[in-house]
Amino acid sequence: MLPAENQAQVQNRSPQRPYNPLVKQQQPVKPATQVVETAKEAVNIPVMEASSVFNVQRLQDRIADITLPSKGILYQDKMPNGIMKIRAMTVKDKKLIAGFRGDGTSLIEMLISRMSVECKVLPEDMLLQDRVFILLQLRAHSYGDRLAFKMTCPSCKNEFDKEISISKDFDIKYLPEDTCEPYDLELSNGIKFALKFLRAKDEKDIINYAGSKKAKTENGDPAYTYRILKHIDSINGIKVSQGNQIEALKLIESLEVADEKELDKAILAKDFGTDFAIELQCPACPRQFKGEIPWIEDFFRNL
Ligand SMILES: [Zn+2]
């Protein structure tokens, strides 16, 4: 298994911005099998009576409709118009988070599966961009719209407090209606690729691969080429599968960096989702700068 900081590096490399706020705080233990079970049962969380002894009925779930950046376009008909229902977190959810022993990705899956209502798309099948958005919305719906964090001025190094509204201050780029998957790219060298978007399960595969025995025998950083591989559906019309994966990795490694740049560019051109860049004004000096809204520590923990 990778140390937590390596996991963060693996994520940072993705051109598709798979932010994973909880990974940094969690030592990966092993892929949690409980997640799959939770995801299956989470299609609809049964309404429980809070306490018959104390004569307290379960309060009505506070449900919000959110529209995912993908607009549901790549989920077949499982999420029409990308509208998803989420409920607010309960103390039990917090308790589960506090005691969770899996890695950060599994924790996010558990959270999403528990707090989505009547959702037909499993958390592992969700696009990374949607997942980031859902986490932000879960946070806003449960704890409020205000997000406070600290920023540092690049000129005078002054650290200052900044507050934003989750619903108003993030720019969301929606996936265009005519988006198809896979989408084609022919490199200048003639190789034809069909490319795809990354799902939560791809990110998990990348982290697992980077921590696997096989990867440890490789030179360099195994996650680097494996992440590129996860974007590829087929090469010259031949589907990339478990059986030809090693060949595909070899081919990726043999590409010239200029070819890789073409690949990167094509993937980035399709990017969508939540924009974390924000214009800031240092309160202590005249410097205006563009910063990235950080994932705060304890995003869902001690708030
Ligand atoms: Zn300053």
Widest pairwise Cα distance in the chain: 73
pLDDT digits (tens, 9 = 90+) for 135-145: 999 999 998 88
Q: How confident is the model at residue 287 (pLDDT cuts 50, 70, 90)?
A: very high
Mean pLDDT to the nearest integer, 165-173: 94
Q: How far apart are CA 207 and CA 229, in angstroms?
A: 13
> Which residue is associated with the tokens 């025998």?
217
Residue 175 falls inside a structural domain = no
SS3 200: helix
Residue 178 CB-density burial (10 A; 0-12 exposed, 13-18 middle, 19+ buried): exposed
Give distance in angstroms: CA of 280 to centre of ligand 1: 10
Q: How confident is the model at residue 273 (pLDDT cuts 50, 70, 90)?
A: very high
Which pLDDT score is estimated for 215? 72
Give distance in angstroms: CA of 163 to centre of ligand 1: 17
Q: In angstroms, how far is CA 226 from the centroid of its own chain? A: 17
Most confident of 22-26, 89-93, 132-136: 132-136
Residue 233 falls inside a structural domain = no
Residue 166 falls inside a structural domain = no
Q: How confident is the model at residue 105 (pLDDT cuts 50, 70, 90)?
A: confident
Which pLDDT score is estimated for 23? 42
Give distance in angstroms: CA of 136 to centre of ligand 1: 28
Give distance in angstroms: CA of 159 to centre of ligand 1: 8
Q: How confident is the model at residue 78 (pLDDT cuts 50, 70, 90)?
A: very high
Residue 39 has pLDDT above 80, yes or no: no
Give distance in angstroms: CA of 303 to centre of ligand 1: 28
How far the first Cα of the chain sits from its last, in Å, is 29
Which pLDDT score is estimated for 86? 95
SS3 217: coil
Residue 82 falls inside a structural domain = yes
Q: How far apart are CA 20 and CA 36, in angstroms?
A: 19
Residue 181 falls inside a structural domain = no
Give distance in angstroms: CA of 279 to centre of ligand 1: 13
Structural domain for 81, as ranges: 4-144
Query: What residue ranges in 7-80 does DSSP mark as E strands?
Result: 63-67
Mean pLDDT to the nearest integer, 241-252: 95
Residue 79 falls inside a structural domain = yes
Which pLDDT score is estimated for 54? 82
Question: How many independent structural domains does the chain possess?
Answer: 1
The H-assigned helical ranges of the chain are 4-12, 34-41, 91-98, 104-115, 128-143, 166-169, 200-210, 213-216, 222-230, 245-254, 257-269
Is the Cβ–Cβ distance between 183 and 270 less than 8 Å? Answer: yes
Give distance in angstroms: CA of 286 to centre of ligand 1: 6
pLDDT digits (tens, 9 = 90+) for 185-235: 999 999 999 999 999 999 999 988 888 877 777 778 888 999 999 999 999
Residue 226 falls inside a structural domain = no
Is the Cβ–Cβ distance between 138 and 112 less than 8 Å? Answer: yes
Give distance in angstroms: CA of 149 to centre of ligand 1: 16
pLDDT digits (tens, 9 = 90+) for 155-166: 999 999 999 999
SS3 253: helix
Give distance in angstroms: CA of 2 to centre of ligand 1: 37
Residue 297 falls inside a structural domain = no
Mean pLDDT, the chain, rounded, equals 83
Tokens of 56: 């307290």
Give distance in angstroms: CA of 215 to centre of ligand 1: 44
Residue 72 CB-density burial (10 A; 0-12 exposed, 13-18 middle, 19+ buried): buried
